[in-house]
Amino acid sequence: MNLFQHLSDANTQWVLAGTLLLGMASGVLGSFAYLKKQSLIGDAMAHAALPGICIAFLLYGQKSLFWFFAGAAFSGLLAAYFIQAIVKNSRIKEDASIALVLSVFFGIGIVLLTYINQNGSGNQSGLNNYIFGQAASLVGNDVKIIAIVAVILLAVTALFFKEFKLLTFDPQFAEGIGLPVRFFNGLLMVLIVSAVMIGLQAVGVILMAAMLITPALSARYWTERMDRMVVIAGGIGALSGVVGTIFSTASEGLPTGPLIILAATLFFLFSMVFAPRRGLLVNIVKQMKMRRQTARENIMLSMFDLMEEEMRKPAARHATGFGEEQIRGLRPVSKRLFARVMKQLIKENLVSSDGNRYALTEQGKEQAYQIALKNRLMEVYKMYEMKFSHEEVEKQEDIFALPEPLLQELTRYLQQLGRMPVRLSKTGPGENRRNRNNIIGQRGADSRYEL
């Protein structure tokens, strides 16, 4: 059978609707679990559901999704209780407590499952599907229950979105303004557990936690708003559910759970690499740019400092160019970066070179002067931060945006401290001394203050 025949099959459509809805619900609720730093709780709940399902089967004697839910929810909540009790009454921390309870419950589940399988009715029970998940085993009734639960979960979350958000971000403050924190915490926990329960048959106990967390993790990459994150996570969950189910039904016998999770993981990987602000690619590019920018400023500054030093010497001994070691010695820049930046600077006609020594061109001197001025203004700004605190300067570039009187004041401080950059103009060194006082003249500032 090909894919299209599959998709036109009524049963497949039911199953698809089911996995779509449960993917959506677990994506939405997983966002809260993730932001509350309770990702592992979902994992524990899912694993701990197995003994509950087995016991429900042993007691009821046949497969019944309703009783399975009840059993799974019961043992899941029991596990949650044990996890908290262990943390509260011993010195064991939460992560160890989760690991302990999860494995014990799962172990009991496997023992019970083996017992059931060896005692006749096991193969008909469909219980084995609960390990890795088999969406194809969902029948109309199962899908109905899953769909109803999923819709309820989504509706309740939408209704109390504001409360859940506050609870997740700042529970103490929530309590402070009178939100019944215990109630909402409990409600959210029940919703998360329910999302896990409806996913068990299709996704399986082992991988259900990934269904909860992976869409949320992926969504976090694309947005900085909680409401959008929840919607995106729901969408990714739904898509993963559908894609995984299609591949599973098309390929006879492959369990659905791993395929759904693989689909979700692909979304996650894509998000991690290509997301616009948090993505790896953007950040690598940004970092490279930044490194280059810093290296460029450092090189310009070092050359400026060296030139400035020369200017203070008698005219006859002025050096005009500087070696690589000399420049890199002032502010460390890697050899490779130095070569690349220098090439660029020469291309922009800011630096001239005879191969060994580098000198600032007239244009370069002007730019280096601006960079030095900016840097040193920032230095004094930081020095007197308390005084200027009403003006916030976040980036060095912003310093020139300060109001003129303030800039003048900063410039005065620079002069008093002898840190005013020397203009490296082409006028002869003899005139330079006079020039020093005119430096800020260009910026329209006051030049009465002597060095």
Partner 1 sequence: MNPLMVRNLTVAYHRKPVLQEVSFSVPEGKLIGIIGPNGAGKSTLLKAILRLVPAASGEVLIYGKPYKAQRKLIGYVPQRGSVDWDFPTNALDVVLMGRYGHIGWIKRPGKEDVKLALSCLEKLGMENYAHRQINQLSGGQQQRVFLARALAQDATIYFMDEPFAGVDAATEKAIISLLNELKAQGKTVLVVHHDLHTVQEYFDWVLLLNMRVIGHGPTDEVFTVENLQKTYGGRLTFLDQGKLLVKHE
Count of Cβ atoms closer than 10 Å to residue 211 Cβ:
33
Instruction: Tell which positions 60-89 bind partner 1, by CB under 8 A.
Output: none
Binding piece for partner 1, criterion CB under 8 A, among 138-146, 154-162, 302-310, 402-410: 154-162
Cβ nearer to partner 1, comparing 225 with 343: 225
Instruction: Confirm or reject binding of residue 165 to partner 1 (CB under 8 A).
Output: yes
For 399, which DSSP code?
A: G
For 422, which DSSP code?
A: P
Cβ nearer to partner 1, comparing 92 with 166: 166
Instruction: Confirm or reject binding of residue 175 to partner 1 (CB under 8 A).
Output: yes
Instruction: Confirm or reject binding of residue 168 to partner 1 (CB under 8 A).
Output: yes
Cβ nearer to partner 1, comparing 163 with 446: 163
Cβ nearer to partner 1, comparing 325 with 394: 394
Give the nearest distance from C-beta 90 to partner 1 in angstroms: 13
- What is the contact mask toward partner 1 in residues 23 to 52, using x (rule: CB under 8 A)? ------------x-x---------------
Q: Which of 333, 349, 319 is nearest to 291 (CA)?
A: 333
Cβ nearer to partner 1, comparing 165 with 443: 165
Instruction: Confirm or reject binding of residue 290 to partner 1 (CB under 8 A).
Output: no
**Measured distance CA(64)–CA(56) in Å, rounded:** 9
Which of 17, 210, 226, 300 forms a contact with partner 1 (CB under 8 A)? 226
Give the nearest distance from C-beta 169 to partner 1 in angstroms: 5
155-163 LR contacts (CB < 8 Å, sep 24+): 156/187, 156/191, 157/28, 157/29, 157/32, 157/191, 157/230, 160/184, 160/187, 161/227, 161/230
Instruction: Confirm or reject binding of residue 397 to partner 1 (CB under 8 A).
Output: no
- Looking at the chain, the number of H-run helices and the number of E-run strands are 21, 3
**Measured distance CA(200)–CA(184) in Å, rounded:** 24
Instruction: Confirm or reject binding of residue 281 to partner 1 (CB under 8 A).
Output: no
**Measured distance CA(404)–CA(440) in Å, rounded:** 12
Instruction: Confirm or reject binding of residue 390 to partner 1 (CB under 8 A).
Output: yes
Give the nearest distance from C-beta 239 to partner 1 in angstroms: 20
Alpha helices in 90-139 (DSSP H): 94-118, 122-125, 129-132
By rule CB under 8 A, what count of residues binds partner 1?
31
Count of Cβ atoms closer than 10 Å to residue 1 Cβ:
9
Give the nearest distance from C-beta 298 to partner 1 in angstroms: 24
Instruction: Confirm or reject binding of residue 224 to partner 1 (CB under 8 A).
Output: yes
- 25 contacts 196 by C-beta, under 8 angstroms: no
Give the nearest distance from C-beta 177 to partner 1 in angstroms: 4
Binding piece for partner 1, criterion CB under 8 A, among 22-30, 75-83, 160-168, 261-269: 160-168
In sequence order, what are the residues at sequence separation of 6 or more whose Cβ sits closer than 8 angstroms to the Cβ of residue 271?
A: 217, 218, 219, 221, 222, 279
- 364 contacts 358 by C-beta, under 8 angstroms: no
The overall longest dimension of the chain from CA atoms, in Å, is: 106
Count of Cβ atoms closer than 10 Å to residue 158 Cβ:
12
Give the nearest distance from C-beta 36 to partner 1 in angstroms: 9
Interacting residues toward partner 1 by CB under 8 A:
35, 37, 159-160, 162-163, 165-166, 168-170, 172-173, 175-179, 220, 223-226, 228-229, 385-386, 389-390, 392, 394
